[in-house]
Structure 1
């Protein structure tokens, strides 16, 4: 089987998570500067078999798209052009940053580690991916 790769897209950096080959477990992979994201994804996809990209869909509490959705849609167009063979699915990412921070607290990370925004982005991508995996179970 192929892996599923999730992105917590940001204008400065993007958190990336990936499943195992059986698509059971979501694990944080890395955080990449968004300006280098397409290059990273092309290289990663040339080494690993990826079945699907899951990209977070930020929404406001009233269910309207957040301001960052404009940038995400622009990126998706570039991703579709660069790697057209891999489909893209969106997943609601409301509260993922808060959940990521809470998981850092629960995990006992020190204050300095919790201030690492790149780590928060990677954990957020993992939460987005796990949300997708959980939705497939039903």
Structure 2
């Protein structure tokens, strides 16, 4: 088996999370500047076997796409062009930011540490990945 890699795409930063090779445990990987994302993924996939990209799909409460979906669509085209042999699946990411913030609070981090948006993005990607694994 190979890793699954979840992407919480953002305009400035993108959170990433991966599974172990057995696809049992989801772990935060890192947060990268979005403009460097494709280069980071190319480097990462040369060193690690990635079976599937999971990209967060932001939706409104009425199930329609949120406005940030317009930013994600061009990225999906670039991702598919850069990695034609790695399939891409979308995962509903509603409430992941709120869940990530609550996770950081529950973990006992101080307020200053919780304000680290990069950490929040990484935890959000981990939640996207965990929800996919749970619903598989």
- One fold, TM greater than 0.5? yes
SS of 2:94 mapped into structure 1: coil
Q: What stretches of structure 2 of length at least 5 have no aligned partner?
A: none
Task: Tell me, in whole angstroms, the C-alpha distance in 1 between the residues paired with 2:71 and 2:47.
Answer: 27
Task: Tell me, in whole angstroms, the C-alpha distance in 2 between the residues paired with 1:73 and 1:24.
Answer: 29
SS of 2:54 mapped into structure 1: strand
TM (norm. structure 1) is 0.98
Q: How many residues were matched structurally?
A: 136
Q: Over aligned residue pairs, what C-alpha RMSD do you find? A: 0.4
Task: Tell me, in whole angstroms, the C-alpha distance in 2 between the residues paired with 1:86 and 1:17.
Answer: 16
Task: Tell me, in whole angstroms, the C-alpha distance in 2 between the residues paired with 1:2 and 1:116.
Answer: 30
State the partner residue of 2:11.
Answer: 11
- Does residue 66 of structure 2 align to residue 66 of structure 1? yes
Deviations 1:86-133 (A, max 9, x none): 000000000000000000111100000100000000000000000000
Task: Tell me, in whole angstroms, the C-alpha distance in 2 between the residues paired with 1:25 and 1:42.
Answer: 23
TM (norm. structure 2) is 0.99
State the partner residue of 2:55.
Answer: 55
State the partner residue of 2:87.
Answer: 87
Q: Structure 1 stretches (4+) deviating beyond 6 angstroms?
A: none
Deviation at 1:71, TM superposition (A): 1.0
1:122-137 map, 5 Å: 122-136=122-136
